[in-house]
A and B are shown apart, each in its own frame.
Chain A
């Protein structure tokens, strides 16, 4: 099993919702990964659709860079609706 690749599992709980990352597992190939994901992650009807992606294909941002990386969004309060002051009697906006 240590030679089996690691797979990331994504589950859609209901038609209309996004697939959400549920966890990972080892499997020999994609078909086995999907079947095992069904057995491990959807035993209580948690899903109606499964995506698996080999973990080595996931590229992630570096947690150490988190501060600088997401910094550009920190000082832009004007991107939020509450930044704008409007009269109270104004409706539907």
Chain B
């Protein structure tokens, strides 16, 4: 029998579509890549709650308010699934939160844009959750078992997020001219940040090849972006709004839409911390963590007291 080294055996498992589980051997870089990616994903879920929280008290009807609350509650839950998945790789959640709060860890740049009108709530559901779902569906087949299982649960729960957003916009488009203008304005502000969510172009994404080989990623950034553009442009037509891209054009030969160049300078500026709301978001996160300290302490103190009481009762 031919002798193979442990790294070849690992790759052979991946190639055979056998999932990697927490106790299995894995290359250090595989572990590190996953920790970074899953932590970023978890951070994005909980930071993503903030731009929407802005509109809970301003929702126009109880129906819309209940849906928005349910969506934000889901995002908190999704953060928890993902933090739990990343903890199986041997990191502590508190460490990850420290890295988020210190600005060392990243989260999706889209959440560094402000939510200016009610139409932004619909547009976020439609475009931002739409892009997230496009990205997350292939992650359900990710080679790392705990991540893949978390993604399956998340995708199942998330389908209502996009639908409630689209329905909200559709309702506004049946309204007054001012409401229609509001939807178009939201589209104009969110379109480019939304298609940037898939990350840099493939040529500028040095980790993609390795991630694809390890089956962490199944499609490249540009492949996913193209898919998103193709389906979303049709959805915009049904809404009756235009996509703010003069270069957008159906390409018969490719069977896809051609579209304009993303402003990558702006993208990197936001990634590096200088977007319109980066400081506000981090401050809100830190504030929630610091102001919540007494709740965590009180819960521990109560648990201690309860266990002492039980011991005394048992004695």
Contacts and interface: CB of A to CB of B under 8 A. Distances in A.
30 contacts: A12-B21, A15-B18, A15-B21, A15-B145, A16-B19, A16-B148, A78-B63, A78-B66, A78-B160, A79-B70, A79-B74, A81-B159, A81-B160, A81-B163, A83-B67, A83-B160, A83-B164, A84-B163, A84-B164, A87-B170, A87-B238, A89-B238, A90-B166, A90-B235, A91-B231, A91-B234, A91-B235, A92-B231, A92-B235, A93-B162
B15 interface: no
Interface in A58-89: 76, 78-81, 83-87, 89
B138 to A, nearest CB: 15
A49 B238 contact: no
Interface string B1-44: 00000000000000000111100000000000000000000000
B104 to A, nearest CB: 32
Nearest to B23: A49
Given A16-B149, A78-B164, A81-B163, 6 more contacts: A78-B66, A78-B160, A81-B160, A83-B160, A84-B164, A92-B235
B164 A93 contact: no
Interface in B53-101: 63, 66-67, 70, 74
A45 to B, nearest CB: 16
B70 A86 contact: no
Interface string B133-173: 00000000000010011000000010110111011001000
Interface string A17-35: 0100000000000000000
Contacts of A18: 149
Interface of B: 18-21, 63, 66-67, 70, 74, 130, 145, 148-149, 157, 159-160, 162-164, 166-167, 170, 231, 234-235, 238
A90 B238 contact: yes
A87 B18 CA distance: 40
B242 to A, nearest CB: 18
B19 A86 contact: no
Contacts of A80: 160
A16 B166 contact: no
B160 A84 contact: yes
A47 B160 CA distance: 35
Nearest to A83: B160
Given A78-B70, A90-B238, A93-B235, A16 B145 contact: yes
5 A-B pairs with least C-beta separation: A16-B19, A84-B163, A92-B231, A15-B19, A81-B160
B167 A84 contact: yes
Nearest to B64: A78
Contacts of B163: 81, 84, 86, 93
Nearest to A75: B66
A81 B71 CA distance: 11
A18 B70 CA distance: 27
A91 B130 CA distance: 12
